[in-house]
Structure 1
Amino acid sequence: MLLVIAAFAAHAQKVNTSPTPAWLVPYTPDLTKKPNAKNISDGYFLLLLEEQRQVELKSNYQHFIRQIISEAGIQNGSEISVDYDPQYEKLTFHKIVIHRDGKEINRLPNAAFKLLQKEQDLSRFIYSGTYTAYLILEDVRKGDQIEYAYSITGDNPIFNGKLDSRLYFVAYEPIVNYYKNLIVRPDRPVRFKLYNSATVPIQKMWNGLTVYEWNNVDIREADNNSYVPSWYNPFTRVQVSEYSSWKEVADWARKINVTPAPGLALSRKIAALKKAANGDKNKYLLQALRFVQDDIRYMGIEMGEYSHRPNVPERVLTQRFGDCKDKALLLCTMLRANDIAASMAYVNTDLKGTVNDMLPSPNAFNHAIVQVLLNNKTYWLDGTMSYQRGNLTDFCEPDYQRALVITDTTTQLTPIIPATRGSIVVRETFTLPDDENKDGRLEVTTAYHRDEADAQRAELAGTSMKDKEKSYLSYYKKLYGDVAIKDSITTQDSAAGNIIRVGESYLIHHLWKRDSINGKLQFTANAQSFYDVLSYISDEQRKIPVTLRYPYDLDYQIILRTPIEWSLDQSPLHIQNDYYTFDYSAEKKGNLLTLSYHYKTFSDHVPVKFIPQYVKDLKKMNEITSLDLTWKPDTMPVYRPAIPGNWLAITLALMFAGVFAYLATVYYKHSVWPPKESPQSVPIGGGLALLAIGLVFAPMGELMALCKMDIFNYNFWVTVSARKDLGNITLVQLFLVIEMIVNVFLLAYSVLLAVLFFNRRDTFPFALATYYFISTIFIYGDNTISNHLFNTHEPGSVFSLNSIFWPLLRMAIWVPYLLTSERGKTTFVMPYQTERKP
């Protein structure tokens, strides 16, 4: 790699000099004009900015005059720098003159330019071969005019001389005389697109060529807006393109993305992957993708035409590195070798879907991926992603929105429709001590799903655990003060399901803060994980869209284990619109407080028209991002229930209570004995007295259990609806409803049993046995499912066996007694009609 860079460095020529080009269109600036003094910064202004581009000669002429007005201008305006690519461009200076006191001082003959490599993208592992010609002017004084002009001749041969450019008409410094033109043959099919009130060029003929002229510039103040989408471009500009359609661009791309037959090394690799896949194309695709992603490192030498032309796959495999287009072509070659339909696709990671609003152009894109059609499904695969895991069907579509698929049938951009998304599930559990001198505890579990797991996996791979723990600890120290790590961070990577779980454990010293005035202790729980993803603005009159993190799905809970019962008077919050949804609920259950947040985005921005409502929503969301708990250790606050009831559940319970009461009445009229017979019944006595006590209290126990059910708590119902960790929420809610219905049924059944018992009905023994059997099955099944869904018991407990022990014991005692004892046989013999006789 170093040899390659050195070779190109040697190729970079010295700066050339020549007279001013003869092809220039005459332009005479008014050098007597002055700018508004209050707009001048840095101690100088531009008296002239002239740019002329002769497309047929591939030459771009630049002419500047700087007016130095202060000592600050000497510091800031006494250097000249020009960027160019020596692979296909030639830099020629025509003039460097200092105007002082009516005299011209020619500095061009002795100009000592330094050629510096301008590799600002090396941090992204991209080497472009661009250079900067840099000159420090000597003896510059206040009042001087620095005039210089140069030409850059040549363009990238990859475009075959096609005109494709963006002309910006914006500046953050005063420009007194401004002139820009474009000189082309009259037969060139030049197309223009104007943005943000850009002016239509003045068109004229000059020496048989067409000249398009502009002489207006938009002087702007620095843009201080935050949370701006990457695709938003407020600058006055004009796009110029000779490309007539996206099909023409796709045809150009097909010519430079030619896939030669695999060489020996690539053929061996393909054969090995086929053998490992054993005929399974899905498996082959995953293996090929992960090889390109993980084994071919990202490095781009994008000099000359290789800014757009990929290296041949055999070379990329051999050198084991390449940029996005190299990786994309290699992956396409490997997939096509196994009869998998794969095509390169160009996207723009910044402009995203707005690229569709541009004139067709190769330079509309900055990234290459792969489109795969397999088993009637479309997959968008990015070879530059590392640590992407999971099944192919669970891959999340990248948020590039539009792609130019490089095929012979392409006529327009293809939408990338998001169908699968990842999520983050966070649980912060605080254990608050019962004494201000004791330490509190914080346990954090975070589960990253799908593409969020991919991103987290890459971050974990690039960061030491020591640095990660230091970063996390610093995060919580800013929130809660004196925090120490209790146990090291734990990570669990389920590659098959593409889930990463991260566990953290902390001690919080002096968690309770005492108020020196009233002596109360206070702790504030902060929903920082939610707060951090919001784009906070306050200006309802903002005229620029607000960026949103997208796609994003956060399920976040703060769980507070408190030493006493707290009152809770926070109402749920639900916000739903086309751009995001948010749900908040607060639930109290004994000494446990649970704050639940669910935030999900549906767009990468909030449009200007919706900003006033967005600001209002932000205020609502901000109000519930923290919770203050205050108490005096020697007092016990009274719990004030402020949670509204779930009236839907209450209504269902009452409705089914009526249904079961009716069925109990029907069953009560059923008899074992023939209706006309009236057997003699002995009074209730003996051991049946104990059973009578149990049957009297059974309805009260069933009623208490029913009333304590979580489904009647509205906040619990809302919380369940927002929880991502429960899987299919509809099935969970159905389980809760069925659980409630069965409890209503058992309550009605227990009342029926008591009535049957004291009326010594002949149906009582069978009804009692059935009741015990149903209760046992229900209790065991209910506890098992509930534990599976909500993790409601401590590890290692035997809750299910304990819960069914007493129903089984009662059934083992009373059912045989009723069926075999003489008293049981002679007590419960009364038919329905017998008890109605006078």
Structure 2
Amino acid sequence: MRRTFRPVLLAPGLSPASVLLLCLCLSLSSGAARAATTALPFRVGPPAAWVKPLPIPPDSGPASAGEEETSVSRLLLEEQMRVSGHSQEHYLHAARKVLAPQGIDRVTDIQIHFDPTYQKLTIHGIWRLREGRREDLFQPAEARVIQQEPELQNRLYNGTLSVVPFLRDVRVGDTLELAYTIEGANPVFGGRFSDVVSVGQPFPVGHFAYRLLWPEGRGRTLFIRDFAAPGLTRSEAMLGDEREILLERRHVPAVRSEDKVPGWQPVYPWIQLSEYKDWNDVARWASALFQVPARSKALEQEIRRLGREPKPEARFLAALRFVQDEVRYLGIEMGPNSHQPHPPDEVLQRRFGDCKDKSLLLVALLRGLGIDSQPALVNTGLTQLLDGWRPTANAFDHAIVHATVAGRELWVDPTSTLERGGLDSYEPPPYGRALIVAPGTTALSTIPAPTLKEPSVFVDETYVATDRDGPATLEVVTTRTGESANSMRRLLAGTPVSELSRFYVNYYAKKDAKISVAKPLTVDDDTAKNVLVMHEHYRIEDFWSSDGRRDFSAHTFHEYLTEPSYSHRAFPLEVEHPVFARHRITLKSGEPLHAGKDHDVVDGPAFHFEADTRADGKTLVLDYRYQSLADAVPPERIAEYVKAVRATEDHRGYYVQLAGRGARRLAPSPSAGEAGTFLLGVMGVCLALWFVIAQGGPVELWRKGRAWGRRRAFARKFDADHQGDSAWAAIPITGSQELLSTLGRLRCACGASGEAPRDSLRHEAVVLGERHLTLVQWQCPTCARARRAYFEDKGSRAA
């Protein structure tokens, strides 16, 4: 390129030295500007020649009858992928129309994520379509590049960058169009390709398309599996030496979300593409990553220390608890380390690592101790759904360890801290399926489901109220075993006992405002047997109501026996499983109680419930048991499940009425106008007499009526669903989309329910021990009442 030099005209009084200094400053300034422009970690330009962008379809209304969009209409969602050698190019093109002011925030909230260690981002443009004019709004200099680290709260760092553009002048009626390409593939997969294409969304889409250019005839085979994608068309053509695969779906209806859908149940229709021919192909790929290197001096020293235990079981537990409790969970997952663990020696020196790092370290220690073990890959949410998947390395999000100790097969999670007890009572993690990382593995292995033969949670409440007008005492003994004890131990490790006590006393204060702590809460932890016992002591003023009545509640089961938000469902209802809980309430009264004994059983599609009531002299015992039988209820049995839950309401509590003190109740006299109903009254009396005789006589009927009334009064007073009111009763969700849909169903005290404006939502992260919650606060759109709800994300866990 030729450079043209132009003469410089000196201003009057400006010396040549000053001119030289000015030129130098201008040169440095322009150089700095060029450096600032080139410093951006992305480029701006047109798409590659292989890309064939689709036109934006006209807004033809809702995708199907009965659907309507309130704020945004998704006109186009298009993806194009090209696979060439070890390289991959991913083109995305989307268009959304703003229908209401609330939709402006949604269409302008754009974040483009990429990994700079192996990906290159090219932004083609962000266009505004208004009244037939198409204008590019994207200003690279105004965009911000942030390292957001979306999994920071889970102590995972992956180095992903996010480009956040700031767009000006977007109004109702505008269509916003976005297009960009990400080039590059994670080298950890060695050029192998796999992808998951969602062909359904929680919102309607006018035109969906997925186009793949595949290198045909180069020794590479692509496997495609369709998972319930109605209305999807597939066409193929050859473009030179590439095979073009086109998947399209028009007028795509929204997939409406439901609450508590099991992770193994696909909700959105999707297509899976994979280059892996079988699970052995995946196992050999993983085996190359999880290589146990030669032992370092530090690793050898740790093996000698752990080897002092005389028996294999003791050595195994010592190694497991060392990795679980003394190597903290923290993942640096940049580039290939998204799937490849760091060397065990490095993890040992750092004393931190993620699930992959900790699993490989544990395997290295166990093998050094002479214990056969291998890493294993699992999916924390999909479990048995993996049985229907095409083999792929992308099927897993977590790593654990499989070991054989003294002839016993064990599955252990090195990231689960503070597990105690012996191997006889050890519960396998609830992941269902696993791929053992070994070159000879040919299929997924089944992880046996945990079984509970005895209650793992036993809440024993004893009330002593010997004086009707004096204070009563309450002693609560909560015994936890197995995983329930482990969970409480983790909570106590991050939460002071005083804070836990404050929560418990405030929980009981919802019913008894004049309750106080009589003795500090104490914890007895038998780590050898993995039995954790908590003791609470309270003093309650005004225990009896003014008319001598008291209600009792088996509140332990509130979280298990709740009705779903959606009873007319398309998907199964998730049930927490396995659960075996017991709640016993004992009342020691100073006045005689009516003697009696009842045993009630309710069997639902996914649970078994029992209630025993025994009253003798001045002592009343209410004994309840709940046991889950399955992890889900199929849609066709939801009505049966709801009926069973409601049936337990009459048995999950009781009320006691002490003898009165001379009070009389006056009944109104019949009016003259009632004489005409005399004959009907006589017939009613006859029917009533027949019913009394059929029930075993007046005494038995009176006893049954009192028992039913006591239970029903409990159900009306105590069985309101308080889920979300506190951090301890957080609403489980599987992602931000479910959080927003759940908010729309929460009913305010004024009776209104509905989606709150997003700009009124305030989110706050809450850490409670090892639980990471989200507190959402907002105002009711109807009555402006301040509202709040706690949520806990139970979604997939990163490896």
Which bin holds the TM-score, normalised by the shorter protein?
0.7 to 0.9
Provide closer, same or farther for how the CA distance between residues 172 and 354 of structure 1 changes in structure 2, counting only shifts above 3 A. closer
Aligned counterparts of 1:566 and 1:572: Cα–Cα separation in 2: 18
Quick check: 1:257 aligned with 2:277? Answer: no
Aligned counterparts of 1:455 and 1:206: Cα–Cα separation in 2: 57
Q: Which region of structure 1 is more displaced relative to structure 2, 155-164 or 331-340?
A: 155-164
Quick check: 1:233 aligned with 2:266? Answer: yes
Residue aligning to 2:142: 112
On the 8 A contact 1:579/1:603 being kept in 2, the answer is: yes
Q: State the shift of 1:413 in Å.
A: 1.1
Partner SS, residue 201 of structure 1: strand
Quick check: 1:611 aligned with 2:638? Answer: yes
Aligned counterparts of 1:414 and 1:368: Cα–Cα separation in 2: 14
Partner SS, residue 263 of structure 2: coil
Q: State the shift of 1:142 in Å.
A: 3.9
Partner SS, residue 469 of structure 1: helix
Q: How far does the alpha carbon of each residue in 1:486-507 deviate from its partner, in whole angstroms, 9 at most, with x for none? A: 1110110101111000001112
1:510 to 515, 534, 542: 542
Q: State the shift of 1:102 in Å.
A: 3.5
Residue aligning to 1:707: none
Provide closer, same or farther for how the CA distance between residues 34 and 629 of structure 1 changes in structure 2, counting only shifts above 3 A. closer
Q: State the shift of 1:304 in Å.
A: 0.8
Provide closer, same or farther for how the CA distance between residues 130 and 574 of structure 1 changes in structure 2, counting only shifts above 3 A. same
| Corresponding residue pairs, total | 624
Partner SS, residue 261 of structure 2: coil
On the 8 A contact 1:426/1:555 being kept in 2, the answer is: yes
On the 8 A contact 1:116/1:133 being kept in 2, the answer is: yes
Q: State the shift of 1:39 in Å.
A: 5.3
On the 8 A contact 2:98/2:107 being kept in 1, the answer is: yes
Residue aligning to 2:177: 147
On the 8 A contact 1:446/1:503 being kept in 2, the answer is: yes
Residue aligning to 1:834: none
Partner SS, residue 49 of structure 2: coil
**Structure 2 unmatched runs, 5+:** 1-37, 664-697, 704-799
Provide closer, same or farther for how the CA distance between residues 246 and 505 of structure 1 changes in structure 2, counting only shifts above 3 A. same
Q: How far does the alpha carbon of each residue in 1:20-63 deviate from its partner, in whole angstroms, 9 at most, with x for none? A: 21002464444474557995646442333221111225111112
Residue aligning to 2:647: 620
On the 8 A contact 1:98/1:106 being kept in 2, the answer is: yes
- TM-score, normalised via structure 2 length: 0.74
Q: Which region of structure 1 is more displaced relative to structure 2, 23-32 or 228-237?
A: 23-32
Partner SS, residue 80 of structure 1: coil
On the 8 A contact 1:15/1:113 being kept in 2, the answer is: no
Letter in 2 for 1:595: L
Partner SS, residue 266 of structure 2: coil
Residue aligning to 1:378: 409
Quick check: 1:461 aligned with 2:501? Answer: no
On the 8 A contact 2:201/2:255 being kept in 1, the answer is: no
Provide closer, same or farther for how the CA distance between residues 442 and 338 of structure 1 changes in structure 2, counting only shifts above 3 A. same
On the 8 A contact 1:169/1:217 being kept in 2, the answer is: no
Aligned counterparts of 1:60 and 1:538: Cα–Cα separation in 2: 39
Letter in 2 for 1:612: A
Quick check: 1:361 aligned with 2:412? Answer: no
Residue aligning to 1:812: none
On the 8 A contact 2:505/2:516 being kept in 1, the answer is: yes
2:75 to 36, 47, 56: 47
On the 8 A contact 2:588/2:618 being kept in 1, the answer is: yes
Provide closer, same or farther for how the CA distance between residues 643 and 307 of structure 1 changes in structure 2, counting only shifts above 3 A. farther
| Mapping of residues 160-559 of structure 1, within 5 Å | 160-187=190-217, 188-198=220-230, 199=232, 201-216=234-249, 219=252, 223=256, 225-275=258-308, 277=309, 279-418=310-449, 421=452, 423-435=456-468, 437-514=469-546, 520-537=547-564, 541-559=568-586
Residue aligning to 1:3: none
Aligned counterparts of 1:100 and 1:609: Cα–Cα separation in 2: 48
Aligned counterparts of 1:529 and 1:380: Cα–Cα separation in 2: 30
Residue aligning to 2:129: 99
Q: How far does the alpha carbon of each residue in 1:624-670 deviate from its partner, in whole angstroms, 9 at most, with x for none? A: 1110112334379xx978999xxxxxxxxxxxxxxxxxxxxxxxxxx
Provide closer, same or farther for how the CA distance between residues 627 and 247 of structure 1 changes in structure 2, counting only shifts above 3 A. same
Asked which structure has the greater CA Rg, the reply is 1
| Mapping of residues 386-785 of structure 1, within 5 Å | 386-418=417-449, 421=452, 423-435=456-468, 437-514=469-546, 520-537=547-564, 541-567=568-594, 571-576=598-603, 579-634=606-661
Quick check: 1:63 aligned with 2:93? Answer: yes
On the 8 A contact 1:79/1:137 being kept in 2, the answer is: no
Aligned counterparts of 1:539 and 1:213: Cα–Cα separation in 2: 36
Aligned counterparts of 1:461 and 1:44: Cα–Cα separation in 2: 46
Residue aligning to 1:702: none
Partner SS, residue 360 of structure 1: coil
Letter in 1 for 2:73: F
On the 8 A contact 1:194/1:200 being kept in 2, the answer is: no
Letter in 1 for 2:538: Y
Quick check: 1:126 aligned with 2:159? Answer: no
Q: Which region of structure 1 is more displaced relative to structure 2, 376-385 or 47-56?
A: 47-56
Provide closer, same or farther for how the CA distance between residues 109 and 464 of structure 1 changes in structure 2, counting only shifts above 3 A. closer
On the 8 A contact 1:568/1:642 being kept in 2, the answer is: no
Partner SS, residue 627 of structure 1: strand
Provide closer, same or farther for how the CA distance between residues 505 and 381 of structure 1 changes in structure 2, counting only shifts above 3 A. same
Aligned counterparts of 2:600 and 2:251: Cα–Cα separation in 1: 45
Letter in 2 for 1:463: T
Q: How far does the alpha carbon of each residue in 1:776-834 deviate from its partner, in whole angstroms, 9 at most, with x for none? A: xxxxxxxxxxxxxxxxxxxxxxxxxxxxxxxxxxxxxxxxxxxxxxxxxxxxxxxxxxx
On the 8 A contact 1:169/1:218 being kept in 2, the answer is: no
Letter in 2 for 1:509: E
**Structure 1 unmatched runs, 5+:** 1-10, 515-519, 645-838
Q: How far does the alpha carbon of each residue in 1:534-585 deviate from its partner, in whole angstroms, 9 at most, with x for none? A: 2423866433212222121112211111222322566312245774322221
Q: Which region of structure 1 is more displaced relative to structure 2, 104-113 or 54-63?
A: 104-113
Aligned counterparts of 1:629 and 1:538: Cα–Cα separation in 2: 33
Aligned counterparts of 2:225 and 2:351: Cα–Cα separation in 1: 41
Aligned counterparts of 1:507 and 1:221: Cα–Cα separation in 2: 55
Letter in 2 for 1:144: D
On the 8 A contact 2:598/2:614 being kept in 1, the answer is: no
Partner SS, residue 300 of structure 2: helix
Aligned counterparts of 1:96 and 1:537: Cα–Cα separation in 2: 42
Partner SS, residue 544 of structure 1: coil
**Structure 1 stretches of 4+ moved >6 Å:** 639-644
1:19 to 30, 34, 46: 46
State the Cα RMSD in Å: 2.7
